Amino acid sequence: MSEDDDREAEERDDREDEERDDRDPEERDGRTADAPAGAGSDGSEPGGDAGRRHDRVERHPTPGAMNSLRGWTDVKPVWRIALNYVLVWVARVAPSLRVRNWALRRLGVTVGEGVSWGLEATPDVFWPELITLGDHAVVGYDSVILCHEFLQDEYRTGEVVVGDRAMIGAKTVILPGVHVGERAQIAANSLVTRDVPPETTVAGVPARPMGDSDDE
């Protein structure tokens, strides 16, 4: 999946957000007239299918004409990024799962009991401390968890939480601010741009809920 594909998928999600903002306030909040405040369109609690990472992402405007990535040395100390880079490399290629989890913890990742971090999987190099991995979560081969986005006029940061016993398929990309619920499953090669409810299977670019397992 190319960088252009990632950008197009994110732009589609942003357009959906704009369309939602143009609707009636109750609809915009994901509620019907009969649903209580704070509930989803089906009356459920927040954080269901309509959960949006954008609500949790912090935006940091970039002064001047440079794009935000050009000024990365003003965001984090160079020595910190250099150390993170070495630890990320260890977390990616160490043959021992115990060593990979050790490297993640040294990066500041919150690692639960029994976490399985796949070979070549990559945590965020700038803000790895914003990643939380629940007990017995699995992050598949060559997946990427991002907690930052460098854009033209700003950079964004957001915490990523992977719930207990969640399963992230190989080569999946998770964007900043996403929460993956307990026992949720993400199919391989997915781009996750919004929350994944507990015990839900999602797939695709951008990832969307799949049908019942009987229909797969």
For CA atoms 7, 9, 14, 19, the dihedral sign is: positive
pLDDT value of position 8: 59
Percentage of the chain beyond pLDDT 70 is 70
The more confident residue out of 77 and 53 is 77
Rounded to the nearest angstrom, the gap between the alpha carbon of residue 67 and the centroid of all alpha carbons in its chain is: 23
Residue 206 preceded by cis peptide, ω within 30:
yes
Question: Is the Cβ–Cβ distance between 68 and 151 less than 8 Å?
Answer: yes
Give the C-alpha separation, 108 to 190, whole Å.
Answer: 25
E strands along the chain, which residues? 58-61, 110-111, 116-117, 122-123, 131-133, 138-139, 144-145, 148-150, 154-157, 160-162, 167-168, 173-174, 179-180, 185-186, 191-192, 201-203, 208-209
- Phi, psi (degrees; rounded to nearest 5) at 213: -60, -30
pLDDT value of position 48: 44
Question: Is the Cβ–Cβ distance between 72 and 163 less than 8 Å?
Answer: no
pLDDT band at 152 (very low <50, low <70, confident <90, very high): confident
pLDDT value of position 153: 79
pLDDT value of position 12: 61
pLDDT value of position 136: 98
The more confident residue out of 26 and 76 is 76
For the chain, the distance separating the N- and C-terminal CA atoms, rounded to the nearest angstrom, is 23
Q: Range with the lowest mean pLDDT among 50-64, 135-149, 170-184? A: 50-64
Give the C-alpha separation, 127 to 125, whole Å.
Answer: 6
pLDDT band at 37 (very low <50, low <70, confident <90, very high): very low
* Strands across the sheet containing 167-168: 116-117, 138-139, 167-168, 185-186, 201-203, 208-209
| pLDDT of 173 over the 60 cut | yes
pLDDT value of position 51: 60
- List alpha helices for 112-197, DSSP H: none
The CATH number assigned to the domain with range 60-215 reads: 2.160.10.10
Strand-pairing partners, residue 202, are 186, 209
| pLDDT of 28 over the 60 cut | no
| pLDDT of 85 over the 80 cut | yes
| pLDDT of 213 over the 80 cut | no
Over residues 44-67, the pLDDT tens digits come to 333 444 467 677 777 777 776 777
In the chain, what are the domain boundaries?
60-215
Give the C-alpha separation, 86 to 103, whole Å.
Answer: 9
